[in-house]
Chains A and B, each alone.
Chain A
Amino acid sequence: MIKKKICMLGAFSVGKTSLVQQFVKSIFSDKYLTTVGVKIDKKTVTAGDRDVELLLWDIYGEDEFQKVKTSYLRGAAGYFLIIDGTRGDTLETAFKLRDRTEGAIGEVPFILVFNKADIEDEWEIDGKTLEDLSGDGFTVVRTSAKTGMGVEEAFLSLTQKMLEG
């Protein structure tokens, strides 16, 4: 079976762990428990007629005190840049991480994930920003790890991109 490593990247508390948990186990918790280091989960998906085993690397969030080290990114076939729609500065962090990732492993497929879509009325990031990003050629999705909205689609869409190479 084909195996693909995917990294969950983003600022702290944007919902990296929650997205993986929702995708793999269909569970969600409101309680915030920060991730130290890396937690790895697996899930097999079917893309087209092929089964692909996804190795999901849920990496600790980037914050003022801790930068994400690029050694974790080795061997990744694709990655998500997770943004918390309610915190505008997490978009900046996402782009910093994109630059660092490209510097380390080159250009591999990635998707911009705007999470916490269930509380969109509290968002700092507006629809126009998302449209502009799509316009610039980025793949942009909205998700809610809480309701599950868009989560499966996000993972499938990245898998597709990785297979296309």
Chain B
Amino acid sequence: MSDLAQPVLEFIYDLSIKDRSPAFLLVKEDGEIQDWGGKLETYGITAPGKGDPIEDHVQILDGFFPLDEERLHLACIETETGVSADIHIFFTGKGCWVLFLDATLEEARQSVLQQRLNELCLLRDKHSKLLEQYLGKDIAEKLVQTGVRDAEESKYVSVLFADIRGFTAYSEKKDSAEVFKLLNAYLAAIIQPVLDEGGTVDKIIGEAVMAIFGISSSEVTPPLQSVKAAFRIIGNVQSLHKEREAQRQDTLEIGIGIASGQVLLGIMGSRNRRTLSAIGHSVNLASLLESQARSNEILIDQHTFQKIGKHQHRFTKARLKLRGIEGPLQAFSCEFEE
């Protein structure tokens, strides 16, 4: 500290606390006031007297003295005058210093961040509740019956990613009740077809849904299940659009990617909250395809294409250059009219 020149110290003072109405009280260990200075009136402290107990002037510190801690910080605490203050308490040889700094600005800044984070957390929790509702409580049991145990196992599946485009931008502009209503509507439009075709909703990642086909045994092959689900998802979203447009409500677009192959399946988590996990090339590929899909487009990989029989004619060849994958990738696209 001592090697900082006085002008530098003064500059730092100006920069950091000059506008924060610094004020202090110097008290004895038991809180008896010895000395004071600065803009105490900002915090509603008027006419302190030597020997007064601190709580007579600063009611919020009632019960704080004698202090066990070496130092203490109370952030953004509302004072008598309604001004938000940072209170720092620390000891030196002279006694115990109680420092007040105006925290109005800091509080405003913090408030914006905290509000958004908390609203996001609430939204995310509602997400996963919704998911559980759709999945039903028996899904975990079903998974166990179909042979996926705590140990991992390799299975041939189709992985589908459906992404609600522009949702993040939308959620930033609208209030959370509206956002949640919209999200509910779209998630329902996506999740229902997945379940109807025998798929499992693996997770909702932000604004994207990941579904897996082929976990429960079925007459229909996973690629066929997934493509049929994709057609119905697009159909659902289109009718949702018509409805919402008629009511002059906002609409969002959706893109879908599907890939098929062997993945490692496992159940993770505790007894109460078991979640499925799938690891493998097809998971990454489906996600990549989804990210390349335009609005109202389904992009599928070659493995999926080969196994969808009569539905093949609805797809056209598409060569994609994907980051992270060498050479162009053969994919197949099905685009729907707006």
Q: Which residues of B are in contact with A by a Cβ distance under 8 Å? A: 59-60, 62-64, 69, 72-78, 84, 103, 107, 110-111, 114-115, 117-119, 121-122, 125
Contact = CB atoms under 8 A, between A and B. Distances in A.
Contacts of B78: 37-40
Interface stretch (A60-68, A136-144, A149-157): A60-68
Interface in A60-83: 60-61, 63-66, 69, 71-72, 74-76
Contacts of B64: 74-75
B74 A72 contact: yes
Contact of B125 (A37, A60, A61, A87): A87
| Of listed B76, B110, B118, residue having the most chain A CB within 10 A | B118
A36 B59 contact: no
Interface in A33-65: 33-34, 36-40, 55, 60-61, 63-65
For chain A, the bracket of interface size reads 20 to 34
6 contacts: A3-B62, A37-B103, A38-B78, A55-B59, A64-B121, A66-B114
Contacts of B121: 12, 63-64
Contacts of B73: 69, 71
A32 B119 contact: yes
Given A71-B69, A75-B62, A36 B111 contact: yes
Given A12-B121, A76-B63, 16 more contacts: A12-B118, A13-B122, A32-B119, A34-B111, A34-B115, A36-B84, A37-B84, A37-B103, A38-B76, A55-B62, A65-B117, A66-B114, A69-B75, A72-B74, A74-B63, A89-B125
Nearest to A58: B78
